[in-house]
Structure 1
Amino acid sequence: MDIQEKLNSFYEEIQKEDFLQMRGLGNEVPYFIFDYKPEDELLVRQRVKHMLKNLPLKVSEVNLLQTMISLFDDIGLDGLKQFEEDEGTEELFEAIRPTIEEEALVGVIGDVAKESQLVFITGIGSVYKLVRAHELLNQLHAQVTNTPIIIFYPGVYTGQGLKLFNEFETNGYYRAFEI
């Protein structure tokens, strides 16, 4: 199935009553991975924007990169950029890691999920050095269990693990469903 067919099928599936009511999950958390070839990223972004505007549901998007940036509103991007220039990239990552611990992102996603029928998580490829999808999902399941969450993932989900950009293996994660 090519990406257009997969996106069309996805669009139809997420509007079904069984999907929205989380039927057939066997008491599992309603987390789904929409995996795709990394080279299809721009097309997927475009279709996500289209879906957000046109779905007859209360759908919210959490872009992980934008969310992380918003956690640093007090110093802004210029402050982060200056810190990286002065101290280096690894030091920047170490300095910001406590602020962007997955718990902070989980809190944002949890708040969004309370107001939504469906949550799209995007931008995982943009934050891959700082946030791991499997760690985010592991922490998320303690807070969000009543709203379907879909991670748009540029790589492969085997049902047993994630492989970002089809190159970087991550620790196993098997609780999400492929969609």
Structure 2
Amino acid sequence: MDIQQRLDRFFEEIQKEDFLNMRGLGNEVPYFIFDYNPEHELIVRQSIRYFVNRVPLRIQVLNLLEMVIELFADIGLEGLKQYEEEYGTEGLFDALRPVIEEEKIVDNIADAAKEAQIVFITGIGSVFPLIRAHELLNQLHPRVTDVPVVLFYPGTYTGQGLSLFNRFESNGYYRAFSI
């Protein structure tokens, strides 16, 4: 099945009442991972925009890169770029990690979920290695349990672990359903 067929089937499935009401999850968290070949990133982005604008559901699309940039709005992109030039990429990451790890992103996702029927999380590849999918989902676990959360993942999810870009293995993660 090609990527567009998978996306069409996915978008069809998530509109069903059983999905929206989280039936059949057996008391598991309503987390889903839509994994895809990283070369299909632009097709996935375009399909999400197309779908969200055409269905009568309250879908919150949260892009992690945009959320990180928003956290540092007071410094701005130029300030971050200047900091990286002065201290290097690792120095920049070391400076950013404590702010990101304060769970502000998780708080923002939890707040957005209150107004949604479904939450789509995109951009995990853009924020690697600052934010890792398994860590984000683990932090969300106690906070967002009443709406389905779909992480769009450019890589592979085996049901036991994640491999970003089909190159970087992460710690095991098994709580999400492959969709």
Aligned residues: 179
CA distance in 2, matches of 1:136, 1:113: 15
Counting aligned pairs with the same residue, the percent is 67
- Hey, what does 1:84 align to over in structure 2? 84
CA distance in 1, matches of 2:11, 2:96: 36
State the shift of 1:51 in Å.
Answer: 1.4
Task: Verify: 1:30 aligned to 2:30, yes or no.
Answer: yes
Matches within 5 A, 1:15-164: 15-101=15-101, 103-164=103-164
Alignment-mate amino acid for residue 30 of structure 2: P
Task: Verify: 1:11 aligned to 2:7, yes or no.
Answer: no
CA distance in 1, matches of 2:176, 2:151: 10
Alignment-mate amino acid for residue 24 of structure 1: G
Alpha carbons of 1:102 and 1:5: their partners in 2 closer, same or farther (altered >3 Å)?
Answer: farther
1:122 and 1:152 in contact (8 A); partners too:
yes
Runs of 4+ in 1 over 3 A off after TM superposition: none
Alignment-mate amino acid for residue 2 of structure 1: D
SS of 2:56's partner is: coil
Per-residue CA deviations over 1:63-82 (Å, capped at 9, x if unaligned) read 00000000001111111011
Unmatched 5+ stretches in structure 2: none
CA distance in 2, matches of 1:169, 1:93: 20
CA distance in 1, matches of 2:177, 2:56: 23
State the shift of 1:170 in Å.
Answer: 0.4
Unmatched 5+ stretches in structure 1: none
SS of 1:99's partner is: helix
CA distance in 2, matches of 1:150, 1:55: 16
Alignment-mate amino acid for residue 30 of structure 1: P
State the superposition RMSD in angstroms.
0.7
CA distance in 2, matches of 1:128, 1:83: 18
SS of 1:173's partner is: coil
Moved more, 94-103 or 3-12: 94-103
